Amino acid sequence: MSSPRPDQKNEPWKDPAARPYVRLEKLTKKFGDFVAVDDVTLNIYRGEIFCLLGGSGSGKTTLLRMMAGFERPTEGRIWIDGTDVTAAPPYERPVNMMFQSYALFPHMSVQKNVAFGLRQDRVTAGEVDDRVAEILKLVRMETFGKRMPHQLSGGQRQRVALARALVKRPKLLLLDEPLAALDRKLREHTQFELLNIQDTLGVTFVVVTHDQEEAMTLATRIGVMNHGGIVQIGTPTDIYEYPGSRFVADFIGSVNLFEGRIVEDEPDYVRVASDELGGSFHVGHGVSAAPDATVWVALRPEKVLLARERPEGDGDNRVEGVVAEVAYRGDQSIYLVKLASGRQMRVTQPNTMRQGTGDRIRWDDRVWLSWDSSSPVVVTQ
């Protein structure tokens, strides 16, 4: 799902010698008794698109606002490019933000909105005009300079807001739910545009979003947040394929979780017995868990195969069930299959054949579910 980003090939976060561009150290923010951000330590590297992903109230926006300088951390420090900016007011930080509401100044034209930031610095009028024209061209709004914000569509406002935030060439660009106000088609289109712009300018992005698809498309790395803390940091692939907890597995994409316990514990595989799943199953990776501890097997719906006949071979990872629901989604169908234990397993299959042709699986059909032993992930919390 993630695009091959040049930065991802470098993977500076795997290099212990690499110097983080933005460093958050033990950052905590309390509003009265409420802990909005709880002891977050985070390194972000130059040229990254780092997505903070979490539900509402997870603290992701507060974390972003602390980077922008709108909130003063209760504890902890913030470094940007080697400078401690913890106490710096927002107007002295080399950081710009694109607001969720875009926050365009309603009494200024597009041109003046974009020029506003440059006017605050000692930039000559000629250079202001040149740089505004250049950035408006980059976001393909060059013909809209004279328009007022209320004369623009949502997508156009979003571009102006982006241009206004980028024109000062900030060291760090913060984006608060940048695409939330756009409709689906435009959102997908803009996601790729954002990637192109980031490639062109090489600015480091920190994006706050609650939309996991958005995070998967944009991010070099994702930090999943819950209750003010970062639960897991990793590339989109890491987060999706190797979730570290039930929360992450469940939050990113859809997942089938079955409770069980480890009955065989070897360095390169484990065997998990699960009454919910109906038997014991082979999982092709080692797990560090106490013997007999309760674990959960996470199985992505698209990694389960659906068949009428019992699959060939003598593999362990297969169960029988009855189709309880079928949802046709065009490109794929979603099946809810009821297992012997009463639990339902969600399975998605691409519709490689046109509907109405061939023998397709319907309600109340008895089916076999099978998966590769490398597919399930065992999480212990």
Partner 1 sequence: MSPARVGATRGKPFLLGELMAWIRAHGPWRRAAVGLRARGLTGRTLVTAVPYLWLLLFFLVPFLIVLKISVSEIRLAMPPYEPLFTWISDNVVGLRINFENYAFLFKDSLYWKSFLNSISTAAISTAACLLIGYPMAYGIARSPAAWRNVLLLLVMLPFWTSFLLRVYAWIGILKNNGVINNMLMALGIIDEPIQMLQTNFAMYIGIVYSYLPFMVLPLYTAIERLDDSLLEAAADLGCRPVKAYFRITVPLTRAGIIAGCMLVFIPAVGEFVIPALLGGPDALMIGRVLWEEFFNNRDWPVASAVAIVMLFVLVIPIMIYQRSQGQQLGTHR
* Shortest separation between residue 47's beta carbon and partner 1, angstroms: 21
- Residue closer to partner 1 by CB (options 90, 155) is 90
Spatial strand order in the sheet of 256-265: 279-283, 270-274, 256-265, 294-299, 377-379
From the list 63, 95, 222, 225, which residue makes contact with partner 1 (rule: CB under 8 A)? 95
From the list 88, 148, 201, 336, which residue makes contact with partner 1 (rule: CB under 8 A)? 148
d(CA 47, CA 50) in angstroms, rounded, equals 9
- Residue closer to partner 1 by CB (options 103, 263) is 103
Spatial strand order in the sheet of 305-307: 305-307, 366-370, 318-328, 332-339, 344-350
Q: Binding of partner 1 at residue 105 (CB under 8 A)?
A: yes
Q: Binding of partner 1 at residue 116 (CB under 8 A)?
A: yes
Provide the CB-side half-sphere exposure for 299 (13 A, CA). 28
Report yes or no: 136 and 145 within 8 Å, Cβ to Cβ: yes
Q: Binding of partner 1 at residue 229 (CB under 8 A)?
A: no
- Residue closer to partner 1 by CB (options 62, 333) is 62
d(CA 306, CA 335) in angstroms, rounded, equals 9
- Residue closer to partner 1 by CB (options 133, 148) is 148
How far out from the chain centre does Cα 349 lie?
24
Q: Binding of partner 1 at residue 150 (CB under 8 A)?
A: yes
Q: Binding of partner 1 at residue 70 (CB under 8 A)?
A: yes
Inter-CA distances, 237 with 251, 315, 346, Å: 14, 27, 21
Using CB under 8 A, which of the segments 161-169, 203-211, 291-299, 371-379 binds partner 1?
161-169
273 - beta bridge partners? 261, 280
* Shortest separation between residue 223's beta carbon and partner 1, angstroms: 22
From the list 9, 14, 107, 354, which residue makes contact with partner 1 (rule: CB under 8 A)? 107
From the list 96, 158, 217, 274, which residue makes contact with partner 1 (rule: CB under 8 A)? 96
Is the backbone of residue 177 left (phi > 0), alpha (psi -120 to 50) or beta? Answer: left
Q: Binding of partner 1 at residue 91 (CB under 8 A)?
A: yes
* Shortest separation between residue 216's beta carbon and partner 1, angstroms: 27
Inter-CA distances, 82 with 25, 51, 74, 79, 149, Å: 13, 21, 21, 6, 37
Query: Which residue, among 218, 182, 222, 212, has the nearest Cα to 199 in the 3D structure?
Result: 218
* Shortest separation between residue 375's beta carbon and partner 1, angstroms: 45
- Residue closer to partner 1 by CB (options 168, 346) is 168
Q: How many CB atoms lie within 10 A of CB 370?
A: 18
d(CA 363, CA 228) in angstroms, rounded, equals 43
From the list 32, 34, 121, 357, which residue makes contact with partner 1 (rule: CB under 8 A)? 121
From the list 12, 54, 59, 69, which residue makes contact with partner 1 (rule: CB under 8 A)? 69
- The three-state secondary structure class of 63 is helix
- Residue closer to partner 1 by CB (options 167, 262) is 167
**Binding site residues, partner 1, CB under 8 A:** 68-70, 89-92, 95-97, 99, 101, 103-107, 116-117, 120-121, 148, 150, 164-165, 168
